[in-house]
Amino acid sequence: MIYGMVRNENDAWDLAQEGFLKAWRSIHEFEGRSSFYTWLHSLAVNLALDSLRRKGRRVEVELDDAIPCSLPGPRSKYRLTEIRQHIDAALAQLSPEHRAVIILKEIEDLQYQEIADILNLSIGTVMSRLFYGRKKLQSILRPIFSSSNGVAEDFNRLV
């Protein structure tokens, strides 16, 4: 999850280690109002968001495992790679807050309440960020996937 947000393997390992250290140091603050998983996930997401804010840069998210390849042949594999690149680039254009919600919902497949707990937001804010994040992705990807260059057909078969 952290790697998906920061898009750098070394940074992701550092943030994961920092997250476990932070959890160990602040375990006495865990009150049990949420599950331990939610609490730990929240620490990791917040560390990743803070890191992105500090660096002040947009980071791409890789979707290698999120888009299954059931298309045979090298041409299809090339198109799938092209689709991934477009989606990665589109996700990189989102704000860290919108990207975090999209990743937690669409890639991590978490429920609204879990996302709200992890990010310490209301469910309404989660739904709003998902709505606006998806709209932004749609506006970025629509010109690419509505053209008749063959990528649109492959994209539609994948989704």
Per-residue pLDDT at 121: 92
Domain boundaries, the chain: 2-158
Per-residue pLDDT at 131: 94
Helix (H) or strand (E) holding 105: none
What pLDDT digit, counting tens, does each position of 81-103 carry?
888 788 888 888 889 899 999 98
Angle at 34 between CA 17 and CA 39, to 5 degrees: 10
pLDDT surpasses 50 at 158:
no
With left for phi above 0 and alpha for psi between -120 and 50, is residue 59 left, alpha or beta? beta
Per-residue pLDDT at 113: 92
Contact present, 45 and 104 (Cβ < 8 Å): yes
Q: For 60, which DSSP code?
A: -
Read off the pTM: 0.57
**2-158 has which fold?**
Arc Repressor Mutant, subunit A (1.10.10)
